[in-house]
Copies of this chain bind each other. A is one copy, B any other.
Amino acid sequence: MRLRDIGEFGLIDLLRSKLNPADHTVVVGIGDDAAVLAYNAGAHVLLTTDMLVEGVHFRQDIIDFCSLGWKSVAASLSDIAAMGGTPRHAVVSLAIPPDAKVDSLERLYDGMAQICAEFETHVIGGDIVKTSGPLVISVSLTGEVAKGKALLRSGARPGDLVFVTGHIGGSAAGLAFLENDQKALIPADEQLELTNYHQRPIPQITAGKILAASEGCTSCNDISDGLASELNEIAKASGVGIHIEERRLPIAPSVRNFARFSSHCATNWALYGGEDYQLVGTLDPLRYEEVADQCHLQGIPLTLIGRVTQGSSVLMETEDGYEVLLQARGYNHFAE
């Protein structure tokens, strides 16, 4: 079915039917000029937004529409996680080429509904427009966090420990795997793991809440642009240096295996790949054990990768004993 067969209003009705039912926080949902939302009286409201463009952020031969829906919302959920917040309400706008298939857009919303259900978030509005260009997806997401408890980038102090949740480098490895012609040559379970790292990242909402409640987390960032870029942001915002050790980077065995198989460098994926949507931050050493225990109880790996230093440099001690400067080398739109 093509868009012209059902028109804008038919499409809106169809996509709306995919969304999860509203809960008590949605006083007025889709269908009026704006949604009316109830937040806790003692809370601050969080607001973040992300825009994804076909051909720039995603390609249909690398990701299916359902996973794309999941990942589009995951990016914003991860921003709320990095603030230590609870995600609440999303608005989703799409600019759609007129030859798009209705079925693809339904799958996109299926994926959004899946991740929203998983993280108790509600899509409560949006806008659907046509474009002569590629598909554009805009997600704006609110969350809430207790007053004064938001995790910022700016509180790291020399002596703090640097942590990472989960595993990193997996999204870039997954992308390389999905672009690779010899993908059948690695074990099936590792194929699935690499695919999921890239297509279905898990925002670290629970870890963010544990960190926000701990009183010991002095800075936090989500890994959307790669570890090197995020560490530089924390160092700059906090006015400190950071020293990490390559051998401590939590890179999954499947990622190391595929790096060897495909002659890539797993450390580079972890440092510069991005889209892992894990959390990186700094902890008061006196609070580390308590936070790590709470994370492990929830099945969340928490790995120490280094420490906060005086100065302003972000350095990494390599596995062969060299000390190298890590520069922010995330993706730069508009760079030649």
Contacts and interface: CB of A to CB of B under 8 A. Distances in A.
Interface of A: 3-4, 6-9, 11, 27-28, 31-39, 41-42, 44-53, 55-57, 78-80, 82-83, 85, 89, 91, 93-96, 98, 124-134, 136, 138, 140-143, 145, 147, 150, 152-154, 220-222, 237, 332-336
Contact of A46 (B36, B78, B133): B36
Contacts of A138: 49, 51, 93, 127, 136, 138, 140
Contacts of A129: 51-53, 56-57, 333
Contacts of A132: 53, 55-56, 133-134
A225 to B, nearest CB: 11
Given A33-B82, A53-B129, A83-B33, A47 B334 contact: no
A132 to B, nearest CB: 6
A51 B133 contact: no
A57 B49 CA distance: 22
Residue of A4, A44, A147, A333 with highest tally of chain B CB at under 10 A:
A333
A8 B27 CA distance: 38
A85 B28 CA distance: 14
A130 B53 contact: yes
Contact of A34 (B46, B91, B126): B46
Given A33-B48, A49-B125, 9 more contacts: A6-B334, A33-B79, A35-B47, A36-B44, A47-B125, A53-B129, A55-B132, A56-B129, A56-B130
B334 A142 contact: no
